[in-house]
């Protein structure tokens, strides 16, 4: 919280802005703030992929942190990834709220003692049905939802996954492709493998980028895009989950 009493959050951006996202949305920062922000809050951005990190003395002034997705491997040893792991360990020790998305979910797991690696099933791209564990009543940030579904659809785009969650973590959701779609440690750490912040047009463009770079096969890309027709992610639900977590929703 800043001096004026406004809640303050930081986006730890682990990816470069694509030309498409920059043109349509003004950058990934705006995509995240639109999805997770509320009026009257302050949001800052740290481009950790470029070595830009908050100073140790600045950390206590934030109410929460969000780690974005990335084309990099969360198990890599690039200097900025190792520095990010150290920052996440520090935030965990401070009991700061940290939300990890895709790469962020994986690197959060790694930093806190879990195991991550290549997904056994290969690339998962599209709109995926995620199933919730049966009893999640202990998590205050989920209790404010009017209705908690047994499953929800979310946009996915990853070839890595969490193999084993850290000690003290609990798996909250899974899918037929990925064993750990969401995990939490108490009420201060939340990892989500999918992209609650993505819109389908962002995913369409990302699929084209991956195909143009030959990261994925063009036929696979075209099949994936055709399957997106008529499949709508439950963005409203996921945004409520993420906001409830970041804002520290209390039980009613």
Active site residues: 102, 195, 197
What does the buried/exposed string (b/e) look like for 85-122 if buried means 16 or more CB atoms within 10 Å of the residue's CB?
Answer: bebbeebbeeebbbbbbbbbbbbbbbbbebebeebeee
Measured torsion, CA atoms of residues 56, 58, 62, 67, in degrees rounded to the nearest 10:
-50
C-alpha 4/C-alpha 6 separation (Å) is 6
C-alpha 238/C-alpha 221 separation (Å) is 25
With tokens 């030309």, the residue in question is 19
C-alpha 40/C-alpha 154 separation (Å) is 28
DSSP string, 139-205: -HHHHT-S---SEEEEEEEESEEEEEPPTT-EEEEE-SS-S-SEEEETTTEEEESS-TT--HHHHHH
Half-sphere exposure of 99 (CA within 13 A, CB side): 28
């Amino acid at each position: 919280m800043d001096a004026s009493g406004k809640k303050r959050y930081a986006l730890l951006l682990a990816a470069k802005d694509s030309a498409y996202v920059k043109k349509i949305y003004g950058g990934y920062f705006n995509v995240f703030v639109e999805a997770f922000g509320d009026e009257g809050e302050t949001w800052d951005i740290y481009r950790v992929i470029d070595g830009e990190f908050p100073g140790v003395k600045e950390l206590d002034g934030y109410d929460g942190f969000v780690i974005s997705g990335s084309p990099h491997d969360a198990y890599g040893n690039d200097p900025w990834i190792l520095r990010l792991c150290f920052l996440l360990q520090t935030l965990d020790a401070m009991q700061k709220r940290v939300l990890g998305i895709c790469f962020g979910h994986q690197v959060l797991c790694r930093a806190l003692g879990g195991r991550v690696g290549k997904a056994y099933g290969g690339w998962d791209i599209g709109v995926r049905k995620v199933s919730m564990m049966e009893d999640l009543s202990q998590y205050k940030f989920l209790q404010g939802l009017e209705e908690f579904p047994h499953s929800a659809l979310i946009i996915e785009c990853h070839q890595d996954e969490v193999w084993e969650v850290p000690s003290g973590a609990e798996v909250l959701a899974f899918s037929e492709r990925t064993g750990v779609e969401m995990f939490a440690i108490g009420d201060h750490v939340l990892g989500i493998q999918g992209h609650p912040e993505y819109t389908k047009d962002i995913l369409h463009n990302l699929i084209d980028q991956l195909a143009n770079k030959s990261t994925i096969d063009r036929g696979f890309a075209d099949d994936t895009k055709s399957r997106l027709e008529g499949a709508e992610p439950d963005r409203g639900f996921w945004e409520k989950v993420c906001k409830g977590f970041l804002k520290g929703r209390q039980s009613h």
